[in-house]
Structure 1
Amino acid sequence: MKARHALVCMIVVTLLILAGLSVVLGQTCNPLQLSSCASAITSSIPPSALCCSKIKEQEPCLCQYMKNPSLKGFISSPNAKKVAATCGTPFPSC
């Protein structure tokens, strides 16, 4: 089971690296910033304070990430929505 979670986290990080960097409204969009949320999104553990701060920082970029086929499944998953809600970050309707 731990090996599966490690594999999922490695895949997520790889996808985030492949997504690259871009800028939206002066905000630096970097999906790698959400890597601290990978374990909370792929399992049922609560998000860390770091995860929540990164989601808030990257909130303006979430719609852009959902347009990326490599990131869409990760960002729009039910667990991602739960993590955003737990962090008090409104989930965008794109």
Structure 2
Amino acid sequence: MNTKATCLVLLVVLLCEFEATRAVTCNPIQLSPCANAIMSSTKPSAVCCAKIKEQRPCLCNYMKNPNLQKFVKSPGAKRVAKSCGTPYPRC
């Protein structure tokens, strides 16, 4: 692939990612279907996994919130993210 085509593909990917991020309404309540799986060792539900994937662009902001960070940074949250196939954010 030539340089112009590579740049065009990269630009399209970045614009799509930006649009997907912009479309998300960050609301930690959306992650409530994951509460049981995070606090115990139960398998996360499909709804939980969908919500984690949807809220992924927001997770770094949640980590900065003192009221939320103990849940988002917990081993249970990391386990649920891994179980859902969602990379744990590096903020």
Task: Flag the structure with higher strand content.
Answer: 1
TM category (shorter chain) comes to 0.7 to 0.9
Cα deviation, 1:34-91, whole Å, max 9, x if unaligned, reads: 0000000000000000000000000000000000000000001011000000000001
**Aligned mates of 1:53, 1:67 — CA distance in 2:** 22
Alignment coverage as a number of residue pairs: 71
Q: Which protein shows a greater Rg?
A: 2
Over the aligned positions, Cα root-mean-square deviation in angstroms equals 1.0
Which secondary structure state, in structure 1, belongs to the residue aligned with residue 30 of structure 2? helix
Residue 32 of structure 1, CA deviation: 0.4
Q: Give the alignment of 1:31-50 within 5 angstroms.
A: 31-50=28-47
Residue by residue over 1:16-35, the C-alpha shift from the partner in whole angstroms, topping out at 9 and shown as x without a partner, is xxxxxxxx633200100000
Tell me the residue number matched to 1:74.
71
TM-score by length of 1: 0.73
Give 2:87's aligned residue: 90
Unaligned 5+ segments in structure 2 are: 1-20
Aligned AA (1:76): K
- Asked whether 1:57 is paired with 2:54, we answer yes
Percent of pairs identical after alignment? 65
